[in-house]
Amino acid sequence: MQAGDSNAVADARPEATARPGLDGAALRGPLRRHAELQVRLGGITHVVPDGTTPAEMLPTQLDGVPVVAALVDGRARPLALPLVGSCTLAPLTTAHWEGARIFRQSLALATLEAARQIGLGVRLGPSLGFSQRLELLAPAGTHEERRAAAASLQAALLKVVASDAPLVREHLSVLEAVDYFEREGALETVSLLHSTRHRSVAMVSYGAVFALETGPLLPATGHLSGFQVVANGTHLLLVYAVKGYVREVPSNLPETERAAMRHCRPVTQMARRVSHQVTEMTQSQQRWLQTLRIRSVGDFNEACIAGAIEPLIRVAEGFHEKRIGEIADAIAARRDETRLICIAGPSSSGKTTFIRRLSVQLQVNGLRPVSLGLDNYYVDRDKTPRAPDGEFDFESLETLQLDLLHADMVALVEGAQVTTPLYDFRAGKSVPHAGRRMQLTAEDILLVEGIHGLNPVLAAALPAANVFRVFVCPLIQIPIDRLTQVHASDLRLLRRIVRDRHGRSLSAAATIRRWPSVRRGERLHIFPYQHNADAVFDTSLVYELSVLKVYAERYLLEVPAADPAQVTAERLLELLDTWVTVYPDHVPPTSILREFIGGSGFTY
C-alpha cells in the first residue's frame, strides 16, 4: 500500500492559500515550483509546463502493444499523474513483465466493480499464469448456476470497459479506511491496516469498489481487452489473452478451420487444468493455515505482534517435514518397481534442500539415493542449439546427449556397471568414460534433478513404472486484500535476490535483469509438464517473506534509480512493506529458507 508520494499523486483538494510553516509562520501560496520542467524522452530534452502528464507526451501504443504506465526516473508511475519536477521519461508497455502485471491488476479491479454492479460477491484468488481465480463469497450453487454467474460477470465487465470508467484515487486516514473496509466486510484489509506504519493510505476504484493501491493502474477501463470469465469447479476464472493461444477451439468450426487452429493451444482449457492442479497441490497447507486463522498477510502480522511467530514457524516446518516423509513413503511403497526419481522445479524453489531432506527420509525407509548429474551429458559446445537471439540455448533438451543418457539409465536400472562421461566446461567438450563409475545395488535408487525432470522424454527409455517424478515449487499465495495476492513468482525472485547476494556476490539489479530470461525457460521446459508429477512438494513457508525482508530490503534499496531493474525493485519494496519483520533466529538449520539466507545444516 502506498502513502503520499509527491511524484505519484496529484492532490485533488483545493490548494490552501496560507499554511503554517515550520516556524509557525504562514507560507504565502503553494510551495514554490519551477514553471517549466525539463523532461528527457527518447534522448531528447523537452521543456514542458509544470503539471504536464506522461499521457500527454507518450504514445498510446509502442510496437503494437499498449503503453500502461510511465517510467519516471526509472520508477513506474500512472499515465495521468502530473509531473512535478524535471526527469527522464519512458513508456512502460505490456511487453515488459511489470507492464503486463499492471494491465492484469487493472483488469482485476475492474472485475470487482463489474461484480458489484450485478450483486455478485467475489474476491481475487491466486494467479494461475493463464488466468486468475475468482472466489465466490456466497455458496457456489450448481454448475449451471456458476456458468450463468460467469456469463453475467463477463457481460458486466464488458460494460465497465465500454464505459471507459476513469480511475478514482482517494487518500484516507487509516482510521477512515478501516471504517470503510469494515462496512464492506473486507476483514483481511482491516487486519492489514492494523499493522501499517502509515497514517494514511491511497485507495483506488473504477467506480464504487475501492481497494488499497499497490502500484500504478490504467487511467481508465477503456484500455482493457482480451479477457474471458469462465466457470471452473467451485469458483470462476478470469482468463487472459496469451500470445500464441486461443481461448477455445469452437466445436462447430469446419474441419479445415479447426486444423488451422490446432497450432494455437486453447488457453481456457489450459487455465482450467492449471487451476485444478494448484487446488489439489495446496489444499492440505490451506487447511492448516485456516486452522491457525492465517487467511491473509494481515492475519499473519497480527499473529506476529501477538507473539505467536515461534509456534507458526514450528508448524510450517513440521508440515514440510511431514510432506517430505509422505513422498519418501510413496516412493518406498513402489520400491519393487521404482528405480529412478526425477525432480524438477522452477528457479529458487528450494530443490537442493528438498533433495537433501528427501534423501534422509528415503534412507529411513531403507533406500539409498544415488545422484546422476545431467551436466556431464551435455553435447559439445559446437552442437549446442541456439536461441532465437543467436545465443547458446543451454536450457533446451537438445543440449543433452539423450541417446547416451538413455543407454546409461537402462544399464544402471538393469544392474550393470556404467562409467559416465565427464564434461569439460572450459573446453566445451564431452569426454567419454571419464566420469564416475556407477553400479546400483538392490537398495540403491537413481536420483536425477534438472529443468527437464518432468518431461517424459528424459526417461523415455525406461518403463513408466520405473520412474517417480516430483514437482517442487512454492505454490501458496497469501492474500494481501480482496484485490491483491502475494505471487509465488515474487517469492522466488526475493529468495534468489538474497541467495545471489550472499553466495554469488551478485547485486539485486543483476538478478532482476536476469529474471525474465529465467521465467521464459520455466514456461517452456517446466510448467507445461507439471501434470506429469507423481508427487508435488509446496516449498512455500508462510513466514518467509518476513525473514527475507531483513536482507532483501537493503539489497533492493541499492538498485540505482536509472537501472532498468528499478521498476521491479520499487514494487518488491512495497510488497515487503506490508509484512512485519521477523529475524531468522528461530529458523531451523534444515529449513528450505536456509538455502537462501545462509546457516543451513546441509552442505551444498
Sheet strands (E) in 158-261: 168-173, 200-205, 211-212, 227-232, 235-240, 245-246
Tell me what pLDDT residue 271 has. 60
* Residue 44 lies inside a defined structural domain of this protein: yes
Q: How far apart are CA 595 and CA 604, in angstroms?
A: 9
Q: DSSP code of 534?
A: S
Tell me what pLDDT residue 26 has. 41
The residue among 553 and 373 whose pLDDT is bigger is: 553
Tell me what pLDDT residue 32 has. 58
Tell me what pLDDT residue 84 has. 87
Q: How far apart are CA 457 and CA 383, in angstroms?
A: 19
What pLDDT digit, counting tens, does each position of 514-544 carry?
999 899 889 889 988 888 999 999 999 999 9
Tell me what pLDDT residue 110 has. 97
The mean pLDDT of 543-559, rounded to a whole number, is 97
Please name the residues in contact with 80: beta carbons below 8 A apart, sequence gap of 6 or more: 53, 54, 55, 167, 219
Give backbone dihedrals phi and psi of 100, rounded to 5 degrees, phi first.
-65, -35
Three cell numbers, residue 63: 510496437
Tell me what pLDDT residue 34 has. 74
The mean pLDDT of 223-246, rounded to a whole number, is 78
Q: How many domains does the chain have?
A: 2
The mean pLDDT of 314-325, rounded to a whole number, is 94
* Residue 261 lies inside a defined structural domain of this protein: no
* Residue 47 lies inside a defined structural domain of this protein: yes
The residue among 281 and 21 whose pLDDT is bigger is: 281
* Residue 589 lies inside a defined structural domain of this protein: yes
Please name the residues in contact with 224: beta carbons below 8 A apart, sequence gap of 6 or more: 103, 106, 107, 110, 161, 218
Of 15-24, 175-184, 352-361, the least confident: 15-24
Does residue 6 surpass a pLDDT of 70?
no
What pLDDT digit, counting tens, does each position of 68-80 carry?
999 999 999 999 9
Three cell numbers, residue 185: 466486510
Q: Within 10 Å of residue 236's Cβ, how many Cβ atoms?
A: 29
Q: How far apart are CA 552 and CA 565, in angstroms?
A: 14
What pLDDT digit, counting tens, does each position of 181-204 carry?
999 999 999 999 999 989 999 999
Tell me the residue length of the chain: 604
Kindly indicate the confidence band of residue 290, based on its pLDDT and cuts at 50, 70 and 90. confident
Tell me what pLDDT residue 1 has. 55
Tell me what pLDDT residue 501 has. 93
* Residue 168 lies inside a defined structural domain of this protein: no
What pLDDT digit, counting tens, does each position of 252-266 carry?
545 554 444 344 455
Q: How far apart are CA 201 and CA 177, in angstroms?
A: 8
Q: Within 10 Å of residue 48's Cβ, how many Cβ atoms?
A: 17
Domain end call among 95, 115, 143:
95
Give backbone dihedrals phi and psi of 593, rounded to 5 degrees, phi first.
-60, -30
Kindly indicate the confidence band of residue 267, based on its pLDDT and cuts at 50, 70 and 90. low
Domain end call among 95, 127, 145:
95
Strand partners, 127: 132
- CB-based burial label for 280 (10 Å; 0-12, 13-18, 19+): exposed
The mean pLDDT of 483-511, rounded to a whole number, is 94
Domain end call among 72, 95, 118:
95
The mean pLDDT of 431-441, rounded to a whole number, is 94
Tell me what pLDDT residue 269 has. 64
Instruction: Quote the radius of gyration of the chain (alpha carbons, Å).
Output: 26
* Residue 590 lies inside a defined structural domain of this protein: yes
The SS3 call for residue 444 is strand
550-554 long-range contacts, CB within 8 A, separation 24+: 550/581, 550/582, 550/583, 550/584, 550/597, 551/498, 551/501, 551/502, 551/597, 552/494, 552/497, 552/498, 552/508, 552/576
Q: Angle, nearest 10°, between helix axes 488-504 and 508-525?
A: 130
* Residue 571 lies inside a defined structural domain of this protein: yes
Kindly indicate the confidence band of residue 115, based on its pLDDT and cuts at 50, 70 and 90. very high
Give backbone dihedrals phi and psi of 6, rounded to 5 degrees, phi first.
-65, -25
From the list 147, 19, 40, 151, the residue with the least C-alpha distance to 90 is 40
Three cell numbers, residue 48: 514542458
The SS3 call for residue 507 is coil
Q: Which domain covers residue 449, as residue numbers?
A: 292-367+443-597
Tell me what pLDDT residue 343 has. 97
The residue assigned the cell 482468463 is: 239
Three cell numbers, residue 549: 525482508
Three cell numbers, residue 513: 535483469
What pLDDT digit, counting tens, does each position of 10-51 carry?
343 333 333 333 333 443 455 556 788 999 999 999 999 988
The SS3 call for residue 91 is strand
What pLDDT digit, counting tens, does each position of 443-480 carry?
999 999 999 999 999 999 999 999 999 999 998 888 99
394-402 long-range contacts, CB within 8 A, separation 24+: 395/451, 395/521, 395/524, 395/525, 396/525, 397/452, 397/455, 397/457, 397/458, 397/525, 400/374, 400/452, 401/377, 401/430, 402/457, 402/458
Tell me what pLDDT residue 389 has. 78
CATH of the domain at 81: 3.10.20.30
Q: How far apart are CA 80 and CA 220, in angstroms?
A: 10
Three cell numbers, residue 339: 528405480
Strand partners, 173: 200
Please name the residues in contact with 514: beta carbons below 8 A apart, sequence gap of 6 or more: none
Tell me what pLDDT residue 15 has. 34
* Residue 543 lies inside a defined structural domain of this protein: yes
What pLDDT digit, counting tens, does each position of 208-217 carry?
999 999 999 9
Strand partners, 203: 170, 212
The mean pLDDT of 84-90, rounded to a whole number, is 92
Give backbone dihedrals phi and psi of 227, rounded to 5 degrees, phi first.
-130, 165
The mean pLDDT of 347-356, rounded to a whole number, is 96
Sheet strands (E) in 398-506: 418-419, 422-424, 429-431, 437-438, 444-449, 467-473
Alpha carbon distances (Å) from 27 to 19, 22, 30, 33, 304: 5, 9, 8, 14, 44
Three cell numbers, residue 260: 488451422
